[in-house]
Amino acid sequence: MTKLSVNVNKIATLRNARGEDTPNVVKVALDCERFGADGITVHPRPDERHITRQDVYDLAGVVTTEFNIEGYPNERFLQLIDEVCPAQATLVPDPPGVLTSNAGWDTKQHLGLLSELAQELKGKGIRSSIFVDTKPQNIEHAAKCGVDRIELYTGPYAQMYGVDRQQAVKPYVEAANMAVELGLEINAGHDLSLENLSFFKENIPGLLEVSIGHALISDALYFGLENTVQQYQRLLAD
């Protein structure tokens, strides 16, 4: 069964709008676990516009499912990973100030850096994952750098899903097949939703985890958080 990791960045965005502590990020994360989520994802950014460094420490002390920390591997991020030691660190090539993660690594160009980081994470007992697109060259060099998993960037899939879902998923199927052959495990994330998740999951071999935040929290405004988490889990269980 594909696991659901709930990204709680949007909860922090809402809290920060008032400069107080409502909604409480830790409580929401624990509720997501209680409602059936298999993991919690955060993506702290340098400007702390949503998840703060303190949020990461607070969550690390209470999350009992898999804790996944995403981010650009600068010195500050790597120090945080070293101190918190999450179940998984997802390395994302987004520079400071970018609105959202909208591109994967050029794994050939950054092979040396990613190889070094994968080895470092392995030594700490942390699962490594890198954010990539579906280009064969990037899948190939992801395997060469020794990471445990890739996270397929699903933004283009979500954008094309309503036009032609077969064409939308095709490059992801090819990328996943190649990844499995090369010994990589597979995660996916970005703009996956109640509308497009089931079809993606049905077609992607070896899909172990999806990380979903924006759509899930938006759906929760209409359906309630508990019901929404369970709706996503039902799609992944089918």
pLDDT tens-digit profile of 168-221?
A: 999 999 999 999 999 999 999 999 999 999 999 999 999 999 999 999 999 999
Average pLDDT, the chain: 95
pLDDT at 47: 86
Check pLDDT > 80 for residue 100.
no
| pLDDT band with cut points at 50, 70 and 90 for residue 94 | confident
pLDDT digits (tens, 9 = 90+) for 24-35: 999 999 999 999
The reported pLDDT for the residue numbered 44 is 95
Catalytic residue among 33, 50, 190, 209: 190
pLDDT more than 70, % of the chain: 96
pLDDT of residue 101: 52
Catalytically annotated residue among 43, 50, 110, 141: 43
pLDDT tier for residue 96 given thresholds of 50, 70 and 90 = low
Q: Catalytic pick from 70, 110, 151, 209?
A: 70
Among 75-89, 92-106, 182-196, 209-223, where is mean pLDDT lowest? 92-106
What mean pLDDT comes out for the span 162-170? 98
Average pLDDT over residues 83-87: 97
Q: Where are the domains of the chain?
A: 3-237
Q: Which candidate, 192, 188, 156, places its Cα nearest to that of 171?
A: 156
Is 70 an active-site residue? yes
Catalytic residue status for 50:
no
Task: Please give the share of the chain, as a percent, with pLDDT higher than 90.
Answer: 92
CATH class of 3-237: alpha beta
Of 95 and 228, the one with more pLDDT: 228
* pLDDT band with cut points at 50, 70 and 90 for residue 139: very high
**Interior angle at CA 11, CA 185 and CA 226, nearest 5:** 75
Task: Give residue-wise pLDDT tens across range 195-210.
Answer: 999 999 999 999 999 9
Give the C-alpha separation, 54 to 93, whole Å: 23
**Residues forming beta bridges with residue 70, ordered by sequence position:** 90
Query: Tokens 């993506």 correspond to what residue?
Result: 43
- Residue 46, pLDDT above cutoff 90: no
Alpha-carbon distances of 199 from 7, 132, 194, rounded to whole Å? 21, 20, 10
Task: Name which of 59-63, 91-95, 129-133, 227-231 the model is least confident about.
Answer: 91-95
pLDDT of 36 over the 60 cut:
yes
Let me know if 140 is a catalytic residue.
no
Cβ-based neighbours of 123, under 8 Å, separated by 6 or more: none
